[in-house]
Structure 1
Amino acid sequence: MTHATQPIRDEAEQWRVLSTETPFQGRVTGVRTDRVEMPDGSVARRDYQIHPGSVAVLALDTQQRVLLVRQYRHPVRQRLWELPAGLLDVPGENPLHAAQRELFEEAHCKAGEWKVLVDFYTSPGGTDEALRLFLATDLAEAEEERYAAHGEELEIELARVPLGELVALVLAGELHNPTLVTGVLALQAALAAPGGTAALRPAGSPWPARPFGHG
């Protein structure tokens, strides 16, 4: 163990990869196997999911209620309360545009103001998925015709829950989606910080984990 001598921030680094293969590739994600040289000269195998990245939206109305969606998640065999979210499955897509699309498709809403709430890796020990979570305010119902849901989207439920109630539910272990947990606690922290949510990063801020165009 070494003690940090540099500022506390994440930095890009890559250990030598001796070989790599993709034993499985699905429609959107796959599994990659790398043989990585460790600092002591040994070689370790690392299996992980390769992922295009994701966006999510914490939509907050004027009554300090958060817009939630509820849907079935087969891997954990639970119906989870979550934030509107979706894949960055168009290479180079601006994440803000993707987030606006997801808010419209899942909740038929639009927002007048957008900020970056937080960026994070969803499970960096097992996947390279990076997620950008936006705070959306000044909410209104979209004027366009509703998105035609299909498949599992037909089962989505919507709710608006006060932020304080969600914080209590997270701390009580009643809510488990990592994006929802991260977003709720991050927003609570932002509201308590100097400058409040006005101090959050602009919606178009750079995102080194998933570089994007501004078109």
Structure 2
Amino acid sequence: MADSTAPSEPVQDRRTDLPTSAEETLHTGYVMDLVAESVDLGTGGEVRREFVRHPGAVAVVALDAQERVALLHQYRHPVRSSLWEVPAGLLDVPGEPLQAAAARELAEEADLRAGTWHTLVDFYTTPGGSDERIRIFLARDLTEVPEAERHDREAEEIGMELRWIPLADAVAAALAGRMHNPSTVTGVLAAHAAHADSWSALRPAEAPWTPPWHREER
């Protein structure tokens, strides 16, 4: 099969705004909505697509001086499982920058602050069924939040166990199928790859989402 990509052209996702019509909100939820849109695919005709509209989220691979990753053990009801996860949370504060949201979640969930921040990796969780995006940050130069300033946790966050796992062991757990949270698996594998490259490919914490997110204004 002929390669239609020019050798000099990088592999990169691109924003594509196809004409849509008949947008309908099928369900309005506490965090997420279920919507339906009719989209004109051009030669593929018009099709109806139902998907979850999501505010987006951030996650943090917090790496200490011994190259250990901070993991939290948290119950997730939809999958009826207690999962090992990196600190993460919703973009539910209007106008809050991504890195500020990540710092807030790191402090609230793991009682940690970081002196050094980088963008590690960006991804869509389920692009065929949701517009949820997640940015994973790498946080280093860690210190503990003073006990008097710590967040009062609630719901599933009460009693979460924090465990420090060597990065290599976290990678092994992901590859062996012993961890399943997407931010954790994606984050530890990305951190492992970045570390192997001496962190040279890390982007700044304020790096833009590319291509621009189609709901950036929300």
Specify if TM > 0.5: yes
Residue 200 of structure 1 is matched in structure 2 by 202
Residue 123 of structure 2, aligned match among 94, 113, 120: 120
> What is the alpha-carbon distance in structure 2 between the residues aligned to residue 160 and residue 41 of structure 1?
50
> What is the alpha-carbon distance in structure 2 between the residues aligned to residue 211 and residue 43 of structure 1?
25
TM-score, scaled to structure 1: 0.92
Structure 2 counterpart of 1:34, which letter? E
Residue ranges of structure 2 left out of the alignment (5+ in a row): none
After superposition, where does 1:1-215 map in structure 2 within 5 Å? 3-5=4-6, 6-143=9-146, 144-193=148-197, 196-207=198-209, 208-209=212-213, 211=216
* Structure 1 counterpart SS, 2:149: coil
> What is the alpha-carbon distance in structure 1 between the residues aligned to residue 33 and residue 159 of structure 2?
26
> What is the alpha-carbon distance in structure 1 between the residues aligned to residue 45 and residue 193 of structure 2?
42
> What is the alpha-carbon distance in structure 1 between the residues aligned to residue 30 and residue 66 of structure 2?
40
Structure 2 counterpart of 1:164, which letter? A
TM-superposed CA distance for 1:41, in Å, is: 4.7
TM-superposed CA distance for 1:199, in Å, is: 3.7
> What is the alpha-carbon distance in structure 2 between the residues aligned to residue 19 and residue 174 of structure 1?
43
CA contact 1:71–1:81 (8 Å) conserved in 2: yes
TM-superposed CA distance for 1:198, in Å, is: 4.7
* Structure 1 counterpart SS, 2:158: helix
Q: Could you give the per-residue CA deviations for residues 185-215 of structure 1, whole angstroms, max 9, x where no partner exists?
A: 111111112xx22541111112232758xxx
* Structure 2 counterpart SS, 1:182: helix
TM-superposed CA distance for 1:151, in Å, is: 1.4
* Structure 2 counterpart SS, 1:12: coil
> What is the alpha-carbon distance in structure 2 between the residues aligned to residue 129 and residue 4 of structure 1?
29
Does 145-154 or 57-66 show the bigger shift? 145-154
RMSD: 1.7
* Structure 2 counterpart SS, 1:197: coil
TM-superposed CA distance for 1:83, in Å, is: 0.5
The verdict on how the C-alpha distance between 1:43 and 1:187 changes in structure 2, with shifts beyond 3 A counting, is: same
TM-superposed CA distance for 1:92, in Å, is: 2.4
What is the percent sequence identity of the aligned residues? 51
Structure 2 counterpart of 1:170, which letter? A
> What is the alpha-carbon distance in structure 2 between the residues aligned to residue 83 and residue 46 of structure 1?
32
> What is the alpha-carbon distance in structure 2 between the residues aligned to residue 84 and residue 130 of structure 1?
16
Structure 1 counterpart of 2:60, which letter? V
TM-superposed CA distance for 1:25, in Å, is: 0.9
